[in-house]
Structure 1
């Protein structure tokens, strides 16, 4: 019980770091510099605020490092529940981290020339990583059943479906992908709820 409590709190801290770095990199640092309909404005913004853009790259790398650590912590926490599923969840989360880490090269390339094509490739690569994360999330929903509140497990299952559908439509039906963007609120709610449960309530579980 004590080992589970310690691991849960550490996992919650790692999750908090991942959420903060992810939102900070995309919405706080990189997003305001990108005008998808205006290549020249984007090029000028990146040139004028290159340190902020490079900081967003560092945040992406930090997020990948924390994801690797979280994958291992979750495996240690949940392997007693189901060793095979726990191993699969760790592998799929590590795959996502590998894709995200490799994908930052697209951001470096965006600083060298016309940025929008490279930024579009980065966005597509991010969705590719989320396809692996979708499988991880669905497995986690199953592993946490009986440990976390049932509604969190259902929310994680729904989040996994949103991630999977979003990643697939990104490559095969871009118009559908554009219409489903509001659905990503579901994964935000699910992951923030899981993070808070790990940090606050999970240590009280029997």
Structure 2
């Protein structure tokens, strides 16, 4: 296995980890614990499944940490293709980690309110449920805001894939579409929430671009011969 292909597979491994872990808090836990329009039922579900909710917090922290490593491994893979574009990808991709870490604070606050420790005795059950729901809503809004960076970093990544010569260009096109899908989801979630479900349904197949890219570089790696052939014109 050549060095380029090895670096591609390492990046693919970390990308797949993010893809597998991130949906725990983004998709699975809301589907299992959150009851739309019923704060009391949601709080009861979290209290009854505290371990699952804690796993969601841990999942977000792990996702943020792995995402940081992923961004670095992709920078190492593509820095010889075009350094400035690779640096732009690195900077935009780095934003994923602090946003994930910051957003776990909302879930930690929710968990404290659900547990109802003695220092919250001044708040009755309905007030605690309302405050917990507030933090869950802030978490959701923060996720919509984070999708701006989830989308933006895919554009320089797509440009690097397109120019690289060691990966197929259809992946670059799909990653670009994936980036616009995230921006559309962010726009709908923040500004037009009534269209959020519609946009999410339309965006789902577009978001498989990251999955295709991760599996490609993990399983097939990169072709050293084509990269060597195209590197000198790019550098020139």
**Category of TM-score, reference length = shorter chain:** over 0.9
| 1:51 shift after superposition | 1.1
| 1:205 shift after superposition | 5.3
Matches within 5 A, 1:176-191: 176-191=195-210
Q: Show CA shifts across 1:72-125 (max 9, x none).
A: 111111111111110111111111221111111111112213232211211111
Q: Which runs of 5+ in 2 are unaligned?
A: 114-127, 226-236
Which aligned segments of 4 or more residues in structure 1 are displaced greater than 4 angstroms? none
For 1:188 and 1:171, how far apart are their aligned partners in 2? 19
Preserved contact between residue 155 and residue 179 of structure 2 (Cα < 8 Å):
yes
TM-score, with length taken from structure 2: 0.82
Deviates more, 1:40-49 or 1:177-186: 177-186
| 1:133 shift after superposition | 1.8
| 1:187 shift after superposition | 4.2
Q: Is residue 79 of structure 1 aligned with residue 79 of structure 2?
A: yes
Q: Is residue 159 of structure 1 aligned with residue 178 of structure 2?
A: yes
Change beyond 3 A, Cα 1:56–1:30: farther
Q: Which runs of 5+ in 1 are unaligned?
A: none
Higher Rg:
2
Partner of 2:13: 13
Matches within 5 A, 1:1-206: 2-111=2-111, 112=113, 113-114=128-129, 115-145=132-162, 146-204=165-223, 206=225
For 2:157 and 2:107, how far apart are their aligned partners in 1? 30
For 1:116 and 1:187, how far apart are their aligned partners in 2? 31
For 1:178 and 1:59, how far apart are their aligned partners in 2? 24
**Alignment coverage as a number of residue pairs:** 206
Q: Output the aligned Cα RMSD.
A: 1.7
| 1:150 shift after superposition | 2.1
For 1:193 and 1:14, how far apart are their aligned partners in 2? 14
For 2:26 and 2:193, how far apart are their aligned partners in 1? 20
Per the alignment, in what secondary structure is the counterpart of residue 93 of structure 2? helix
| 1:27 shift after superposition | 3.1
Per the alignment, in what secondary structure is the counterpart of residue 69 of structure 1? helix
TM-score, with length taken from structure 1: 0.93
| 1:149 shift after superposition | 1.8
Change beyond 3 A, Cα 1:28–1:174: closer
For 1:76 and 1:41, how far apart are their aligned partners in 2? 47
